[in-house]
Structure 1
């Protein structure tokens, strides 16, 4: 006997399959970021962006982290729901004017646009603690080495 899912459940299952995470390879991400104008954006090298993405999400577009203050960080750059995007009923300034769920898609265009907005603020990349800890003032050439950009 063939079991069928009720229509709403079937549609939900289809949606889940359609928005599966993508974990980028280092050079694949570097190329995508370069193609979207991230190399030297606001003075930050492409290697800075790749380093940031690695330490924030391990290049995983579907990464989500819950913070102690109740906010969440989303996507490949771990963009915070308290400031940059809106999520559920969490209060947010939504400075990127985006729903946080958009930052979880395999295509990272929304993430890139929001990251560009973030680094335009006075703190620049220093808003990301992982960047300050692992990337700032470091030799980052290895992050793009061999990528043929």
Structure 2
């Protein structure tokens, strides 16, 4: 490809990626919680499988690669909504752990099911061949992005 052709393709790829992010690049969030809250709450729930006591804010911060202040802000919002609770660490009273409530677990499960149904609709729209091709291309792009990190 010529330089001007490459630039045109790059511009079109950029437009497509912006649109994809806007319309379908993340889990659909209900009016109940925001995308950032979903990510944090989902992480807390996944962590709970290995440790039912809860997770430290510093561990959440490290896993999500965001500042402890950013985690605390989101935790405050989720706690106000009744989606998580704070607990004292039984082994160290100075440490605060966070854990999902039943309400938090229910909203995440509901949102996962909605997202799965959304992806089923996309798969039906694209068909089997194009869906597999999209998976192949996205996986390849992800490999490139991981390499460039």
Normalising by the residue count of structure 1, what TM-score does the alignment of the two structures yield? Answer: 0.26
**Looking at CA atoms only, which structure, 1 or 2, has the larger radius of gyration?**
2
Structure with the greater relative contact order (CA < 8 A, sep ≥ 6): 1 or 2? 1
**What is the TM-score of this pair, normalised by structure 2?**
0.26
